[in-house]
């Protein structure tokens, strides 16, 4: 077998299969994910001119094309979901939101079969609160002066759901610090939360929810989060700028902390330093529930409270 024949044959088969599956609704993917792989052409070109045996080249080719196919399907979680998606843009109750209070509300229905859910939120500026549960999968409410307008995208299959909430671009330069966004989530699924906080005030009380992972990318903000004991192995990643961060964790949970804090103050009650930048609670090895923390904070105040 010649390398170039195998390359073109496999490439055409993979592309054709993806097109058929996409057109029939079995899978959904973004063509931009394929364009992102253009540097792979240089790798394959280099592989073709190497003075090695054809069967080795073909083996490497199979691995590369298999990995590329996985990337196209799995990027942003799209490969794990059927083509059930919708975008709904709600309008404000008041068109002139510069003079009067404006409000935006939407709910995303829940199905009993959903076991895992992900929330991706572009918070921008304002105050964001999670303080209660809902029978829906998620409910969103925004109120205040100078508010932006949020759009949402939902992808889901029988057992999984992904919710992405973003602020419409034309509002990013508005002074929307006077808005309050309240989010309520369903307590049944296991949740992953990805939060792009910006210059926000965040108060997330997540005690009632099964939280598996939290990613917080924060700018100059005030961030307070409370994690409960509904899930046995929680991962929390925090990357913050000039922020004040308070994290509340259950006292009986074993906590492991890796922290890089440049010009930052930290209060780590109940933690013992094991090495440079690494801390653990005394009950880490014996605790039933564990929380893994990775913090990169610059010019920030970081405080862990064990309640």
pLDDT digits (tens, 9 = 90+) for 157-189: 889 999 999 887 544 444 445 789 999 999 999
Q: What is the pLDDT of residue 89?
A: 45
Quickly count: other Cβ atoms within 10 Å of residue 152's Cβ.
19
Least Cα distance to 223 among 237, 204, 239 occurs for 204
CA distances from 135 to 56, 65, 138, 161 (A): 55, 43, 8, 15
Q: Give the helix ranges, DSSP H, for the chain.
A: 3-23, 31-35, 40-49, 54-74
Q: Which long-range contacts (CB under 8 A, 24 or more apart) does 168-175 make?
A: 168/89, 171/147, 172/124, 172/148, 174/146, 174/148, 175/146
Q: What is the pLDDT of residue 5?
A: 73
Q: Phi, psi at residue 248, to the nearest 5°?
A: -105, 125
Q: Is the pLDDT of residue 120 over 90?
A: yes
More confident residue, 132 or 31: 132
Contact yes or no for 220/202 (Cβ under 8 A): no
Q: Is the pLDDT of residue 99 over 50?
A: no
Q: Is the pLDDT of residue 95 over 70?
A: no
Q: What is the mean pLDDT of the chain?
A: 81
Contact yes or no for 7/61 (Cβ under 8 A): yes
**What SS3 class is residue 41?**
helix
For 205-246, what is each residue's pLDDT tens digit?
Answer: 999 999 999 999 988 789 999 999 999 999 999 998 878 899
Of 68-72, 92-96, 123-127, where does mean pLDDT reach its minimum? Answer: 92-96
pLDDT band at 33 (very low <50, low <70, confident <90, very high): low
Residue 226 tokens read as: 């409370």
Q: What is the pLDDT of residue 86?
A: 44
Q: Is the pLDDT of residue 253 over 90?
A: yes
Q: Give CA 117 to chain center in angstroms.
A: 10
How far is the C-alpha of 105 from the C-alpha of 85, rounded, in Å?
Answer: 19
Alpha carbon dihedral 141, 201, 130, 230, in 10-degree steps, equals 160
Alpha carbon dihedral 123, 129, 130, 132, in 10-degree steps, equals -150
How far is the C-alpha of 27 from the C-alpha of 39, rounded, in Å?
Answer: 25
How far is the C-alpha of 284 from the C-alpha of 291, rounded, in Å?
Answer: 9
Q: What is the pTM of this model?
A: 0.69
Contact yes or no for 84/162 (Cβ under 8 A): no
Query: Domain limits of the chain?
Result: 3-80, 85-306
Residue 253 tokens read as: 């949970």
Q: Is the pLDDT of residue 156 over 90?
A: no
């Amino acid at each position: 077998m010649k390398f170039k024949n195998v390359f073109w044959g496999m490439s055409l088969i993979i592309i054709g299969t993806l097109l058929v599956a996409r057109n029939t609704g079995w899978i959904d993917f973004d063509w931009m994910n394929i364009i992102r792989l253009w540097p792979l052409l240089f790798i394959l070109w280099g592989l073709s001119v190497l003075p090695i045996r054809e069967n080795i080249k073909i083996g490497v080719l199979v691995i590369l094309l298999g990995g590329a196919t996985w990337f196209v399907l799995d990027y942003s979680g799209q490969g794990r979901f059927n083509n059930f998606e919708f975008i709904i843009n709600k309008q404000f109750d008041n068109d002139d939101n510069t003079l009067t209070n404006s409000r935006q509300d939407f709910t995303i229905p829940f199905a009993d079969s959903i076991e895992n859910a992900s929330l991706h939120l572009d918070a921008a500026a304002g105050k964001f609160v999670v303080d209660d549960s809902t029978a829906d999968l998620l409910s969103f409410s925004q109120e205040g002066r100078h508010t932006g307008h949020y759009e949402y995208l939902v992808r889901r299959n029988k057992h999984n759901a992904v919710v992405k909430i973003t602020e419409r671009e034309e509002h990013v330069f508005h002074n929307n610090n006077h808005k309050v966004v309240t989010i309520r989530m369903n307590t049944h699924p296991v949740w992953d939360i990805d939060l792009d906080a910006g210059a926000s005030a965040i108060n997330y009380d997540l005690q009632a929810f099964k939280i598996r992972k939290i990613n917080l990318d924060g700018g100059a903000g005030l961030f307070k989060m409370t994690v409960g004991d509904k899930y046995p192995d929680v991962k929390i990643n925090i990357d913050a700028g000039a922020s004040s961060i308070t994290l509340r964790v259950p006292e009986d949970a074993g906590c492991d902390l890796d922290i890089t804090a440049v010009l930052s103050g930290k209060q780590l009650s109940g933690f013992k330093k094991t090495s440079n930048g690494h801390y653990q609670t005394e009950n880490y090895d014996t605790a039933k529930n564990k929380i893994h923390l990775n913090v990169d904070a610059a010019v920030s105040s970081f405080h862990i409270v064990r309640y």
